[in-house]
Each structure stands twice: as C-alpha cells, then as structure tokens.
Amino acid sequence: MRRLLTVLAAALLAAGLATAASAGPAQDGRRSYTGVIGGAEYRVEMPHRWNGTLLLYTHGYFPADFGLPLAVTNAAESEQWLLDHGFALAASEFQNGGIGYLVEPAMRDQLALLDWFEDEVGRPERTVVSGQSLGTAIAALLAERHPHRFDAVLAICGAYDPLGTFNAALDVNFAVRTLLAPGEEIDLVHAADPVASRDALTAAVTRARTTPEGQARLALAAAFGNVTGWYASLEPKPTDLTEWIQQQTEWITWAKIWGNGPTAFADLERVAGGNPLGNAGVDYAEQLRRSSQRDVVLQAYQKAGLDVRADLDRLAAQPRITAERDARRYMYRYGVPTGHLTMPMLSLHTTGDGGAPPDSVRWYAEQVRDPAGTRRLWVERGGHCSFSAAEEVTALRALLTKLDTGRWPHLSPARLDAAVNRFDPHYRQVLDLGGNGKAVMAPAFTRYTPPVPLRPSR
C-alpha cells in the first residue's frame, strides 16, 4: 500500500552508532560526526572551510509506520550545496528513534546537540534553527524560550500550532466516521485498537471516493481542515471538481487518517497523560462557512443531489469529544508557540499543502509581536515540503541578508524565481512525497493570502 512519505523510508544512517561521538573523513576534506546523546542519535556535517554559520535542522512528526533517514536539510540536494559553501549542518533524531510526538524531548535533544557542537567543534558565529513540518513548532519554541542560543529561524512547510493541527485532524476524522462509516465501532480517542480504527476509516474513504455522494462528503470532511485538492507536487493544480476531490482524498487518507488520525491521537494521549483533543462546542456549519473549501463542498453536494444541511445536522447530533484538562495544559506547554519571538524568522510554504495547511502560517504570523521581523514566502505548488534545494537555499540567503544588514531584501516573486533559476538543474529538483519520484520544477514564487485557521489554539 502506497503511503504518504513512503519515499522517505530508508535504513537509518550510521546504524548501530556508538554512544561516544565518532568522526570520519568525508570527501573534499569534510568531516562527519555521528553519535548518541541522552539516547538520541545525532549527525553533524562540517565543510572543508567553515563560514561560522551553523544550521540546526529540526525534523517533523513521523508516526510509527514511517521510517526516516537522519536528514540535516529538507531537500537532500541542499546538504551538498550548503557544505560546498561553508555551512555546518547538525540534527538530532530525537528520542524513540524520532518516532511520535516528541516536542518536549526534541527541545532537550536539540539543545544538548548544540552544547556538544560548541564544546567539540566550535562556537558558531551565528546559529539558525530550521524546522520542517511539525519541526517548525519545535524550532519556534526553541527560539522563543532560548533566544540567547539562536540568531534566526527558517521555517519550512510549517505546522506551527500542533494542538490546532491535531484538533483539525480530529474534525476530519469525526466527519469521516459520522458520514461515511455510520454504525461502525470506530474510536477516535482512547481507542482500544487505534490501528483497527485507522484501517476502518481508511476503508470508508476508499469506498466513498468511487461515488458522487461519497465524494461530496469527502469534500465536506476536507473542508473542516482547510485541506486543498492539490496533493501531487509534480503536477499542475487540478481544475476539474472530481479530480480536486480525489486529491483531497489522498490528503485525508495519508495525512489526516494515517498521519494524524487514531494512531497519532493515541500517541498524544500517551505523551500528554490523557486526551488533549476535543470538538465540544464546535459548530460545523460555521466551520464550513469559514472554510477555504466551502465552494468546492457546495458544488459537490449539488452535483451529487445531496442536502449539505442534512449532513451538517447529522454532525451536530453526534456526541462530542471533550479534551482532558491536564492533557490540554501539556499541549499548551509543549505544542503551542506564543509568538514571543525576538529574532528574524522566514517561512517557506506551498499554497497547496494539505498536510500542514497554509492557515498555520497565518496563525503564527498573527501571534508574533514584531511582524517586521518575519517574512513569508509562498510557492504555487502542491504537496507537503515540496521544495527544491534552490528554493530552500534562496530562502536561507534572504534570512541571512536580514541578519547581516538588519533589513530584508526585496522578496518579489520575480526576483526569487530569478534567483532559483540561476542554480544548476540538479538543485532545482522537487521530491513528491506521494511516491512519484523527483523532477526538475520551475520556480513558482507567488503572492498569497492564506485562509483563516478554523481550529486555532489561540
């Protein structure tokens, strides 16, 4: 079965690492360090001549079914370019092999790695903490709580509000269970068998996507998470209604059920000491009214000859899920950044991302007390984290210009596209996380206003 992020599955780099750090020679005089600190594996890559800048990379959320390499950048080709240009790269895998909701230990692991780097390699002139997907929230929390350790934040495909992200996923799963699997015993929280619940929801989605009625209800479920219909990063944005909903269905299946569904909810319960998620008091009719996908839903229901109000009434009549107070408090402590940011932050996001919808970027931007210190770059493309090395490096260069000069460079889409086009095609490859490989893609920076978040934590 094809899964979201299948292409990331690989044997962990440097398997069987010793507890003590080990260093090995690399090509062109480079050095690689691997080891374990406090039970968390790490990897450090040093260039032949260090320019004094350290990039501390923070990976995203990986459920138990996904394997992952110990990466130090979002795009694999970025590592080569950055090392060629003098940057030091470091990343902790975090506890538990990097699997699960690890915000609290991840912060400790990243700080411990930074301590090790400063003691064993050298003190950086400046340290940029970068975050990918849920790692963006970790990076933001590190910058907010330890401003003396970092100089800037690079946020890539960010899910800034983990509690809001998982509550939105709960809404999607709740709608699928209610509308597409009525009468089935599917537990979303406190599940005796989370895998069975996940599989039952997946089966319901698979059945529904073959009929106009099912497609309409899938569009409604997607709307509660602002989930777009642009799943395939190497393909143009769909213009056909049915194809749009089919790609929304891919997001629902792999991001919202397999990635952030019952098994993830069980993981949150384990970490938080109870269920932190809930939909008590949520008005799904109002959620649809505010959703970026409202028009898609109305068109789909009209095409299927269904009454959307009747399905909204079915959702309203269902018993709700109530979050447990102490577990919710845990998530606010280790899963909701405050916006108290005292350093520059640059965000890079695709407009079609349904795994970490763009509304999360808007949410954090509205929390930040000094908006002049933040900038948001948008790429008109589908997929999650679907950036080329050239786009990642172009964003980093803009952030470093802000550090060097105190001013942001001109960030018009035309100038950003021109900067990307100056890179060799090798660095302009984009990875499709749906399993369709890589291809050289034209840069597509754009001006964009993200939708309003539907389940923000603040």
For residue range 253-301, list pLDDT tens digits in order. 999 999 999 999 999 999 999 999 999 999 999 999 999 999 999 999 9
- According to DSSP, residue 125 is labeled S
Which amino acid makes up residue 129? V
3-state helix, strand, coil in the chain (%, to 5): 45, 15, 40
pLDDT at 403: 97
pLDDT at 9: 37
With b for 16 or more beta-carbon neighbours within 10 A and e for fewer, the 216-246 pattern comes to: bbbbbbbbbbbbbbbbbbbbebbeebeebbb
Closest of 356, 419, 345, 413 to residue 382, by C-alpha: 356
Q: Give the span between the Cα atoms of 181 and 423, in whole angstroms.
A: 49
User: Cβ(251)–Cβ(355) under 8 Å?
Assistant: yes
User: Which parts of the chain have pLDDT scores under 50?
Assistant: 1-20, 25-27
What's the farthest any 2 CA atoms get from each other in the chain?
Answer: 67
3-state SS class at 351 = strand
- Give the strand pairing for 374-382 and 53-58: unpaired
Closest of 417, 393, 395, 397 to residue 405, by C-alpha: 397
pLDDT at 2: 38
pLDDT at 6: 39
pLDDT at 372: 87
pLDDT at 69: 79
Q: Structural domains in the chain?
A: 6-161+336-446 (3.40.50.1820), 163-331 (no CATH)
User: Cβ(334)–Cβ(144) under 8 Å?
Assistant: no
DSSP run (H or E) holding 198: helix 194-208
**64 C-beta neighbours (distance < 10 Å), count:** 15
Q: Give the span between the Cα atoms of 184 and 222, in whole angstroms.
A: 21
